[in-house]
């Protein structure tokens, strides 16, 4: 199909669908002033039943915990696919040379960038751990914390270049983080079943409200998600950065 015909088909579809979208938008309940029964039910139940103050975590890890297991496996599949596509061929060795694009100079690293990266990376990683740990009380959790930790670790590449980055990111450890995190989440569900309870039932002591270690089984699930997200994002960074290196001479394209 030529680009012109494709655009015409798209415009025809827009003309057909637009009146329906417009009618729907005008018929929607008043913005910000309609009842939210499901959310209100969670708000009313979770602080008393589960002793957590972060409703989003209560939903992710408890009331809709089974959904999060599915999300976890989607994460695992997407990252596994990326790794399968990109692993091998180049960049595996510490001393792998940077790839060269003709006509583009490789600028030397500024010392200011190295200093700032080395100073801020540990602080950012620590902040990520803090965000991940406080999932049950304040805004945060394994998903957000894991991404912050991975971003902080990536600063090793800016500060110390490729060899420095490779020294802090061992792909075997990251594989274990990613798979182990997802497995930990699934095992939480099976642990409930071993005790004769339904899948993912919260059977651990739930602690006191506003305490970091409240929420029982949710804490373990949150740790699993945190490990899996940290491992996933670092694996993605690792595989994409390997692509910036030159090929080994004996390998194909």
Partner 1 sequence: MNWLPWAVAAWLLGIGLYGVVTSRNYVHLIGCLSVVQAATYVLLLGVGYRWNAVAPIFYDHPPGTPSVDPVVQALVLTDVVIGATVTALLLAMALQLHKNRETLDPQQLRPLRE
Q: Which residues bind partner 1 (CB under 8 A)?
A: 3, 6-7, 10, 14, 21, 24-26, 28, 30-33, 36, 38-39, 42-44, 47-48, 53-56, 58-60, 64, 67-68, 71, 74-75, 78-79, 81-82, 85-86, 137-139, 141, 143-144, 147, 210, 229, 232-233, 236, 239-240, 243, 253
What 3-state DSSP class applies to 215?
coil
Least Å from the CB of residue 49 to partner 1? 11
Phi first, then psi: what are they for 247, rounded to 5°? -70, 150
Q: How is residue 61 annotated by DSSP?
A: I
Min dist. Cβ of residue 79 to partner 1 (A): 6
Rank residues 67 and 92 by Cβ distance to partner 1 and give the closer one: 67
Going 216 to 69 to 56 to 222, the CA torsion angle's sign is positive
Nearer to partner 1, 140 or 216 (CB): 140
Determine the 3-state secondary structure of 35 from DSSP: coil
CA distances from 245 to 89, 93, 116 (A): 10, 10, 25
Of 102 and 194, CB closest to partner 1: 102
CB of 180 to partner 1, least distance (A): 17
Enumerate residues 6+ apart whose C-beta is below 8 A from 190: 199
For partner 1, the closer CB: 26 or 112: 26
Decide: 231 and 132 in contact? Cβ < 8 Å.
Answer: no
Using the minimum distance from each CB to partner 1, give the nearer residue, 56 or 114.
56
In a 3-state reduction of DSSP, which class is residue 110?
coil
**Least distance CB 28 / partner 1 (angstroms):** 6
Q: How far is the CB of 82 from partner 1 (least distance, A)?
A: 4
**CA dist., res. 221 & res. 187, Å (int):** 9
Q: Which residues pair with 245 in a beta bridge?
A: 98
């Amino acid at each position: 199909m030529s680009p012109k015909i494709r655009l015409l088909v798209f415009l025809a579809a827009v003309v057909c669908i637009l009146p329906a979208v417009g009618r729907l938008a005008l018929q929607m309940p008043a913005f910000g002033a309609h009842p939210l029964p499901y959310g209100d039910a969670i708000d009313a139940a979770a602080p008393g039943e589960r002793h957590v103050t972060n409703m989003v975590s209560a939903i992710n890890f408890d009331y809709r915990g089974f959904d999060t297991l599915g999300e976890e496996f989607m994460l695992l599949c997407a990252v596994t696919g990326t790794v399968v596509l990109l692993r091998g061929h180049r960049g595996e060795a510490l001393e792998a040379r940077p790839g060269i694009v003709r006509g583009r100079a490789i600028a030397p690293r500024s010392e200011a960038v190295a200093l700032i990266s080395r100073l801020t990376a540990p602080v950012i990683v620590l902040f990520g751990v803090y965000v991940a740990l406080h999932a049950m009380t304040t805004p945060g959790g394994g998903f957000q914390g894991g991404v912050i930790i991975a971003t902080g670790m990536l600063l090793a590449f800016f500060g110390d270049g490729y060899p420095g980055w490779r020294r802090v990111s061992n792909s075997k450890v990251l594989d274990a983080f990613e798979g182990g995190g997802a497995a930990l989440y699934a095992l939480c569900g099976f642990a409930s079943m071993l005790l004769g309870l339904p899948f993912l039932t919260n059977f651990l002591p739930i602690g006191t409200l506003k305490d970091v270690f409240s929420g029982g089984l949710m804490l373990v699930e949150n740790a699993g998600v945190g490990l899996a997200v940290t491992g996933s994002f670092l694996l993605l960074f690792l595989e994409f950065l390997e692509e910036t290196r030159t090929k080994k001479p004996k390998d194909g394209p």
